[in-house]
Copies of this chain bind each other. A is one copy, B any other.
């Protein structure tokens, strides 16, 4: 890759792209840092240097070999198709193309082969979907999953850098006895929990839940895969936690689950009952792996076909920047 463009370089995910690319020694000669007009001109830390972010234009994407987009769905819809048509490989972290049958939706640990069919754009799944898919897929391969009930405990970082700042500011406000100021979220996030801040459809599911169902089906290539989701925000900065209750097709015990997960790529089992040490956002933050623990049988599912577990992953890393970079690496490796 000679030239790599970062679209949305001033955002929470944009900042992670730099750290992930540097840490993984991504083979790029040159980076072009781009953002919307609002953020253009900002200086950011990039691979150890201060760099000025330029305003995104179609011209600046010309000749770019790889573009990592994370600037919202409307920016992706406006700029990604033309860039892809001109020969740029686009890995898009927005929701713009995730349900487009002509665009692969890829978690490298799950469906790397799907990337081969790309026509210039590959979509990065939603954060809560990726974090569930990484541990669920090896289990599904070993013993077909019939149904998953999932409750999420989602960090505010999924709503961007301003949401992270809002959690900090609101928390300080509440501690000082001031009313919490709201800008990003309709409800206070400090010392609170609320149903995910996306629109609720006529079926009662919010958009985050709809994505979790539909994207998992696409990634697993199983249009009937049954997920019953509840997505919530919690006062956590950057890692999502998810409780899964899994009904398998055949009997399975917790030891088999632990063995499968211990050998699974991208997973780290954290399951120490004696020490009460299980996956936690503060420990998943900054880590590439999805932490998995609280693995136990669910005796309310008959025939020993039930397992409950908790997983937790960094929303900005495996949930966004890392998975996107892994997709680019995958395409490079398969060329």
Contacts and interface: CB of A to CB of B under 8 A. Distances in A.
B192 A281 contact: yes
A150 B174 CA distance: 29
A205 B296 contact: yes
A230 interface: yes
Given A175-B171, A204-B273, A300 B193 contact: no
B192 A236 contact: yes
A234 interface: yes
Contacts of A281: 191-193
Contact of A230 (B227, B228, B310): B310
A295 interface: yes
Copies of this chain, count: 2
A204 B276 contact: no
Contact of A193 (B153, B168, B227, B274): B153
A200 interface: yes
B193 A232 contact: no
Interface stretch (A92-100, A108-116, A237-245, A261-269): A237-245
Interface in A274-330: 274-278, 280-282, 293-301, 306, 308, 310, 312
A197 interface: yes
Contact of A234 (B235, B295, B296, B300): B235
Given A232-B153, A234-B193, A186 B243 contact: no
A278 B149 contact: no
A193 B230 CA distance: 17
Contacts of A275: 186
Which secondary structure characterizes the binding site on chain A?
mixed
Nearest to A198: B276
Contact of A203 (B193, B234, B297, B306): B297
A86 to B, nearest CB: 40
A294 B230 contact: yes
A298 B228 contact: yes
A199 interface: yes
A170 to B, nearest CB: 11
Interface of A: 147, 149, 151, 153, 167-168, 171-172, 175, 186-188, 191-195, 197, 199-200, 203-206, 226-228, 230, 232, 234-237, 241, 243, 245, 254, 273-278, 280-282, 293-301, 306, 308, 310, 312
Given A197-B276, A235-B236, 5 more contacts: A149-B245, A192-B281, A193-B236, A232-B243, A234-B235
